[in-house]
Amino acid sequence: MSLNDLAIDVPRAAAGAAAAELRAALGDRVLLPGDAGFDAARTPWNTAVAQHPFAVALPASAEDVIDMVHAVALSGLRIAPQSTGHGAGALAGTDLRHTVLVSLRGLRGVEVDATARTARVLGGSLWNDVLEAAAPHGLTAPHGSAGDVSVVGYMLSGGLSFYARAHGLAVNAVRAVEVVTADGTLVRASEDEHPDLFWALRGGSGAFGVVVAMEIDLLPLADIFAGMLLWDATHAAEVSRAWAEWTKSAPETATTTLRILNLPPLPDLPPFLSGRSVVVIDGAIEDTDAAASALLEPLRALQPEIDTFARIPAPALIGVHMDPPEPTPSANHHAMLGDLPDAAVEAFVAAAATPGIFVQEMRHLGGAATRRPAGGGAIASLAGEYLVHAISMVPVPEALPAATAAVHAGVAALEPWRIDALALTFIEEPDADRSAAFGPAWARLRELKLAYDPANLFAAARPV
């Protein structure tokens, strides 16, 4: 049982009083059930998850967040910080009936310091916001594969990007975190200020408070060699074997992913993809055009139907993985692998045909992603050489059990090569064993949770 599961029992009369107190303290900055806009405000990006919080608070400033933490603590309720709801699946095990969802979606903004190559990012900012602000200075950031994921939710749980093998996990680029803690104080945590809290936030994320701003290092890249190669899925076995072999000697400048996609016949999809199964290799190579092209030669020799690898402006990398631009209901599961021998490749390809699998994916780790830098936080690296990830769509709520079974089957096929580790940002299920993502840091993280949030005010996806 996690601390999140210890739902506070608020009797009906007390709940009425708590609602009145919240309204009195926060006015129209809080939405209660029945208020106009409540349903839209409680709906997460992952629309497969139905969230039923006690109320939704919508801060527009750090001062609003301070007011909210005071008001919610006084009313005996709990707080779940949320920026977009991309990680809502991992919060789904928490009873939100006595929890106020503090939705950071209105707290966005990015200031770039081009000389220092850093950005100060407000608590609910999206990766698209950062890329837009950084690009005019010839800078970019270690974003993931979707531009509408929040910077805080991604980075403070690790953050695996197409820059990971060259530059490490994104969380290591966090320089300072401005967070409202359980006593309602706005604290700046960095290497020199509240170093214990700084360590804990980098992995502990929303379990330690509501983050109102963060300072991050940017990458000095105006452009990048990146793209994708696509074949019909009839070539999946041959392409997957070749990619697995290629990754064994690929330099750390190359971070790539292999995917088999079973695409439904949807009008939103381009005609060349609609209703087809395809195998795709995508990613980024941080090198000269000549070196990157030479590196891709063995994969290009397999004559892909589409080849978009070329030098592109750095912000365009966010589109390479073709993640859905709109809120999407899905079920996900993942595992970390120590190795990818031929038998594992065969199992991966066969599992992609499991009914209900939408995407069967293998991300190449290793390189700087597996190295823990000095001064790193509770999460600073990933164990394993590969990450297998299965995604299934959940078009109607009744489809969730079948979708969950499909993604578990997709990952279970790789069981003989699984190692005892997890990647925190890929944990989408409420009952996953988070300790596996932290290793030896788990015990210290739990001690710090008790020290900083003794009443367990903060309910997080992936709770500590």
Ligand X SMILES: Cc1cc2nc3c(=O)[nH]c(=O)nc-3n(C[C@H](O)[C@H](O)[C@H](O)COP(=O)(O)OP(=O)(O)OC[C@H]3O[C@@H](n4cnc5c(N)ncnc54)[C@H](O)[C@@H]3O)c2cc1C
Interface residue list for ligand X (CB under 6 A): 81-88, 91, 104, 123-124, 144-146, 149-150, 152-154, 157-160, 205-206, 210-211, 323, 425, 460-461
Q: Is 95 or 346 the residue whose CB approaches ligand X more closely?
A: 95
Q: Any residues with CB less than 8 A from the CB of 419 and at least 6 apart, and which?
A: 336, 337, 338, 383, 384
Q: Is 53 or 124 the residue whose CB approaches ligand X more closely?
A: 124
Query: Minimum distance from CB of 367 to ligand X (Å)?
Result: 16
Tokens of 287: 């090198």
Which of 99, 93, 154 has its CA nearest to residue 124?
154
Q: Is 83 or 240 the residue whose CB approaches ligand X more closely?
A: 83
Query: Minimum distance from CB of 300 to ligand X (Å)?
Result: 24
Query: Minimum distance from CB of 453 to ligand X (Å)?
Result: 12
Q: Is 340 or 460 the residue whose CB approaches ligand X more closely?
A: 460
Query: Minimum distance from CB of 154 to ligand X (Å)?
Result: 4
Q: Which residue is nearest to ligand X (CB)?
A: 153
Tokens of 337: 């692998």
69 torsion bin: left (phi>0), alpha (psi -120 to 50), beta (else):
alpha
Helix (H) or strand (E) segment spanning residue 217: strand 210-217
Query: Minimum distance from CB of 270 to ligand X (Å)?
Result: 19
Do 358 and 391 contact (CB within 8 A), yes or no?
Answer: yes
* Phi, psi of 292, deg, nearest 5: -65, -40
Tokens of 43: 């709906």
Q: Is 88 or 139 the residue whose CB approaches ligand X more closely?
A: 88
Which of 216, 210, 180, 176 has its CA nearest to residue 193?
176
List the Cα angle 59/63/64 in 5-degree steps: 25
* Rounded CA separation 326/322 (Å): 12
Q: Is 157 or 240 the residue whose CB approaches ligand X more closely?
A: 157
Q: Is 153 or 315 the residue whose CB approaches ligand X more closely?
A: 153
* Rounded CA separation 119/108 (Å): 13
Query: Minimum distance from CB of 268 to ligand X (Å)?
Result: 15
Query: Minimum distance from CB of 462 to ligand X (Å)?
Result: 7
